Amino acid sequence: MMHMLTLITVLSLVVFLFLFFLIRLFFTLQRKKMETKNKGSTQVGFVVDTFHELVSKLKEKERELEDLRKRAEERAWSVELYNENILQSVPSGVVSFDQESRIRKMNTAAEHILEMKESDILMKKYHEVFHSPITELIDKREAVERAEVSYLTSSGKRIWLGLTVSPLKDSTDKNIGRLLIFTDLTELKAFQSQMELRERLSNLGEMSAGIAHELRNPLTVISGYAKMVSKRVDDSMKPAVEAISKEVAVMDRIITDFLSFAKPTDLIASDVDLKDLLEGCLNSIKQTSGGMNVSVNVGLLPHIKADEVLLRQACTNLLQNAIESMPEGGDLKITGFMDDHICISITDTGHGIQESIRDKIFLPFYTTKERGTGLGLAIVHKIIVSHGGEIKVETGDKGTSFTIRFPKKLIVS
């Protein structure tokens, strides 16, 4: 558009100069004629009329050129506005930098993904706004065709980005800066992790069910002999026999949990009031929640078609984990809400989950508890998935939040 305006300006100047020299030429010729004809009065009138006619044409051309200039400016503004609308409407984040690596533009998607405001970062150097690994990619001053990186936003939220870094050029192919384009891959990564976890758990469950049955048989024999021995030994040996019986009971509980995890989940669907179910789960563990500040806001949850026994087991397990993470007391918050799913959120203010183990918490036999079996969250995950739902975890220094999401198709009509 700037080229068009420049062209119009040049044309205006050419037309003006042309008319100016035409007038001078005309006056020169007329002067010579008038000199040869003794400057008659008729010639003077002719010159005056011709002059006014030329001036009128000149003004008309000026008006036409002014009209062209205005239309060119309007078109330039329209194209610029259209390009801005495109930039702000694309779902990918776009950030542009000038030759001095200062931020010159950030679109709406970039603001949303990175949790920033364009007005807060304009004209700042990129290393003042971003951090590793984005800064490292920009530091290389090379084009990046495709990279997937884990990035921590200013609020502490961990996201996955698929990004490219490319030169920014003008209409003459001159390099005027760089362009960072990125897409939020967090949901896609979470979905891939869920699918991988489902496959691993399915394979492990099929393989381990037989092993669990084989372990239970010798345990039953050991338990039976322990009871016989306890009746025949003197009092000094009874503590040792009782210790054997307790350990057998612990192993039997582990095998029971493992069989519960390994066997196929057959849902016995019924009309479940999620509000009543959660309140019932709270009542079942209230004796262990002393010193907790418990808040419940689940009034918006609907009735769904689900297996009430299994959902109660899953929710109770999550609530018990939340309480155990706050041995010195804290805040336990249960929230129900609707977006594009039916959501139940259980949040605590406990010690949180270390980042290095977050991807392992739903795996069987993985536990950080001294006496834990490592099957609790694995069973929870299996129950939620068997209902067509998913479970997500967000954690940090100030606590942990587990969010269960069920599809709306489960709502009782």
- The dihedral through the CA atoms of 23, 26, 32, 37 has a sign that is negative
Burial class (CB in 10 A: 0-12, 13-18, 19+), 90: middle
How many whole angstroms separate alpha carbon 56 and alpha carbon 285?
Answer: 97
Residues 316 and 369 in one domain: yes
How many whole angstroms separate alpha carbon 16 and alpha carbon 66?
Answer: 13
Q: Which of 167, 184, 201 is the last residue of a domain?
A: 184
Q: Which of 69, 88, 107 is the last residue of a domain?
A: 88
pLDDT, position 2: 47
Residues 227 and 284 in one domain: no
- Which residues 6+ apart lie within 8 Å of 275 measured at CB? 298, 299, 301, 336
Residues 283 and 402 in one domain: yes
Measuring CA to CA, how many Å separate 152 from each of 122, 145, 155, 351? Answer: 20, 22, 8, 20
Residues 118 and 221 in one domain: no
Residues 306 and 317 in one domain: yes
The enclosing domain of 301 has a CATH number of 3.30.565.10
Domain of residue 14 covers 2-88
**Backbone conformation region of residue 298, classed left if phi is above 0, alpha if psi is from -120 to 50, else beta:** alpha
Helix (H) / strand (E) element for 351: namely: none
Rg, the chain, Cα only: 39
How many whole angstroms separate alpha carbon 156 and alpha carbon 152?
Answer: 6
pLDDT, position 371: 55
pLDDT, position 36: 54
Residues 246 and 290 in one domain: no
Residues 180 and 196 in one domain: no
Residues 130 and 119 in one domain: yes
Residue spans of alpha helices (H) in 140-235: 186-232
Residues 278 and 388 in one domain: yes
Residues 171 and 245 in one domain: no
Q: Which of 220, 246, 262 is the last residue of a domain?
A: 262
pLDDT, position 335: 92
Q: What is the total count of domains within the chain? A: 4
How many whole angstroms separate alpha carbon 256 and alpha carbon 372?
Answer: 14
Q: Are 319 and 331 in contact (CB under 8 A)?
A: no
Residues 244 and 287 in one domain: no
- pTM passes above 0.85: no
The enclosing domain of 148 has a CATH number of 3.30.450.20
pLDDT tens, per residue, the chain with 413 residues: 445 545 556 556 655 666 666 666 666 666 655 555 544 445 555 555 666 676 677 677 777 777 777 776 767 666 666 666 676 778 888 888 888 889 888 888 888 888 888 888 888 888 888 888 888 888 877 778 888 888 888 777 788 888 888 888 887 888 888 888 898 888 777 777 767 766 766 666 666 666 666 777 787 888 887 888 887 777 778 788 788 888 887 777 777 766 666 666 678 889 999 999 998 888 887 766 666 888 888 887 889 999 998 899 899 889 988 888 888 888 899 999 988 899 999 999 888 887 777 777 777 665 665 555 567 788 888 889 889 898 888 887 778 999 999 999 998 87
Buried b (16+ CB within 10 A) or exposed e, 208-221: bbeebeebeeebee
How many whole angstroms separate alpha carbon 363 and alpha carbon 272?
Answer: 28
Residues 276 and 394 in one domain: yes
